[in-house]
Amino acid sequence: MSAYKKKHRPNPLAILATLLVFLALAWYAMQVLTPKDEWGLPIHGTIYDEKQNTADILFLGPSHVFTSVNPAMFWDNYGIAANLVSDGNQSVFASYYYAVEFFKTQRPKLVVLDVYEINTQDEFFGSGNALNILATMPWSENKKEAINACLLPEMRASARNPLAYYHTSYASVTKEALLLTKNTADNFKGFHPRQEISPQETPPPWDDAALEYMMIKNTDYLTKLEDLCRQNGAQLLYVCTPYSIVAEDMGYLNHMAIYANEHSVPFINLNRMTDEIGLSYAFDAGDAGHLNLLGAEKVTYALMNYIVQNYSFTDHRADPAYSSYAASAAAIDSYSVQIKTILREDAEVSMQQAQDNLAQFERLATDAVIVAEQGQGTSDYEALLRAADDARITLDAVREEYNKILENYNRLCEQLG
């Protein structure tokens, strides 16, 4: 071999080092450029960052899960380690593939699927949200199958080449992203509590809802999830958390009840139990489709009671291996106190405004009566009497509104404790 060839022969260590640096930079770029919001990406922390074989319960499903299930309550009351793998518009088929991914490192005793999205007839429902997750999922046979099952054909290349897909998000990179800071939902085991109180009409029971049949793809993936749980020694529970449900959706849930019974899987439709769990659409809704923190506490309490009465779990609160669950519960509890403080302060402001408004109209009504009395015997007396009567009628309406506000204020304060 010539001296030139010996001198310029590639150094294997240098090649390996260059490759490792490239891979590290590519990984860092993916972490930074991946969007950080409530839709799609918080589930990565609950799948990949958890200590192996620590999860007791896996909650799956759409945004109804991450707004309605508070994992801190499971930990604080029973030392149960609960994780939410939940995304907006998360289909039944997407939930199946996320469960496969979860079972690679965890052995939960119970899997709970919120079945809200059985109401779709779209075979690629939720593709946009699923793309955010699948694009950053490590490559595997499961990812390959998930891409084909969950994404529209034109989206699949982006999921296979995520760096190309996300490179345009550089303009929105934040300091937190550069430092790889976890978002709230990661720290909260996937929980994303809503602060807003958005009063909604209480939906009717829909006892006469016509039966609506799930599409075959949904029933196929429910069966696949059942098989997956069976193979991994986990039990399965179907639920549907409450929202402003419409008749058509109740029709799908009626079909779900039939399906679950035929497959011997328990199904809890909490939309038929709102009175039983004390849910108030006046206080417990964050919007028409989601509950707020107050509603989440009631739903979680109901689910938790059912689960501890029907399944067995070890209390891990004294086990240091579960420190991340203890820390998460403490963070959620602290955040919950902040939210409730804000809600109480806002309610007190509204109550004071209502009191001031009532006092103003009481003064106006009193003044109108005094003016009318002083006008006796004058040509304006009849007009003054009518003005006084109008003032009293207006006062009665204001007082009625005030009493409603007072009642709601007292009910909210009772909920806040």
| Alpha helix stretches (DSSP H) within 232-322 | 247-262, 274-277, 293-310
Same domain, 158 and 224: yes
Kindly report, residue by residue over 375-409, the tens digit of the pLDDT: 888 888 899 999 999 999 999 999 999 998 999 89
Domain membership flag for residue 325? no
Kindly report, residue by residue over 62-88, the tens digit of the pLDDT: 999 999 999 999 999 999 999 999 999
User: Which pLDDT does position 167 carry in this prediction?
Assistant: 47
Q: Which residue bears the tokens 């997956």?
A: 228
Domain membership flag for residue 20? no
The Cα 170–Cα 177 span in angstroms is 10
Kindly report, residue by residue over 248-289, the tens digit of the pLDDT: 999 999 999 999 999 999 999 999 999 999 999 999 999 999
Q: Which residue bears the tokens 């694009």?
A: 135
User: Which pLDDT does position 265 carry in this prediction?
Assistant: 98
Q: By the 8 A CB rule, do 336 and 342 touch?
A: no
Q: Measured on CA atoms in the order 128, 129, 135, 138, is the torsion positive or negative?
A: negative
- The region that residue 178 occupies, defined by phi over 0 for left and psi between -120 and 50 for alpha, beta otherwise, is alpha
Same domain, 377 and 302: no
Same domain, 138 and 194: yes
User: Which pLDDT does position 179 carry in this prediction?
Assistant: 47
- Percent of the chain scoring above 70 in pLDDT: 86
Query: Inter-axis angle of helices 293-310 and 71-78, to 10 degrees?
Result: 50
pLDDT band at 178 (very low <50, low <70, confident <90, very high): very low
Query: Residue 66, SS3?
Result: helix
| Lookup: tokens for 23 | 């891979």
User: Which pLDDT does position 263 carry in this prediction?
Assistant: 98
Average pLDDT of the residues of the chain:
89
**Which of 225, 97, 109, 226 minimizes the C-alpha distance to 149?**
97
The Cα 256–Cα 131 span in angstroms is 27
Domain membership flag for residue 389? yes
Same domain, 227 and 282: yes
Q: By the 8 A CB rule, do 26 and 161 touch?
A: no
* φ, ψ at 190 (rounded to 5°): 95, -10
Q: What is the mean pLDDT of residues 333-362?
A: 94
* φ, ψ at 82 (rounded to 5°): -115, 140
Paired with 378 in beta bridges are none
Domain count, the chain: 2
User: Which pLDDT does position 163 carry in this prediction?
Assistant: 66
Q: What is the mean pLDDT of residues 336-365?
A: 94
User: Which pLDDT does position 22 carry in this prediction?
Assistant: 61
More confident residue, 415 or 16: 415
Same domain, 400 and 258: no
Same domain, 258 and 356: no
| Alpha helix stretches (DSSP H) within 34-124 | 43-48, 63-68, 71-78, 92-103
pLDDT band at 38 (very low <50, low <70, confident <90, very high): very low
pLDDT band at 18 (very low <50, low <70, confident <90, very high): confident
Cα–Cα distances in angstroms (integers) from residue 181 to residues 36, 101, 345, in the given order: 10, 23, 31
Same domain, 193 and 242: yes
Given a cut of 90, whether residue 35 has pLDDT beyond it is no
Buried residues in 251-286 as b, exposed as e (16+ CB within 10 A): bbbbbbbebbeeeebebbbbbbebeebebbbebbbb
Domain membership flag for residue 49? yes
**Which of 162, 159, 141 minimizes the C-alpha distance to 150?**
159
Q: What is the mean pLDDT of residues 356-369?
A: 95
User: Which pLDDT does position 377 carry in this prediction?
Assistant: 84
Same domain, 312 and 361: no
Min mean pLDDT across 12-21, 135-144, 322-331 is at 12-21
Q: What is the CATH number of the domain that holds 111?
A: 3.40.50.1110
Give the contacts of 278 (CB within 8 A, at least 6 positions apart): 298
Same domain, 264 and 204: yes
The Cα 115–Cα 85 span in angstroms is 14
Same domain, 280 and 358: no
User: Which pLDDT does position 334 carry in this prediction?
Assistant: 96
Domain that holds residue 395: 345-416
Domain membership flag for residue 175? no
User: Which pLDDT does position 222 carry in this prediction?
Assistant: 98
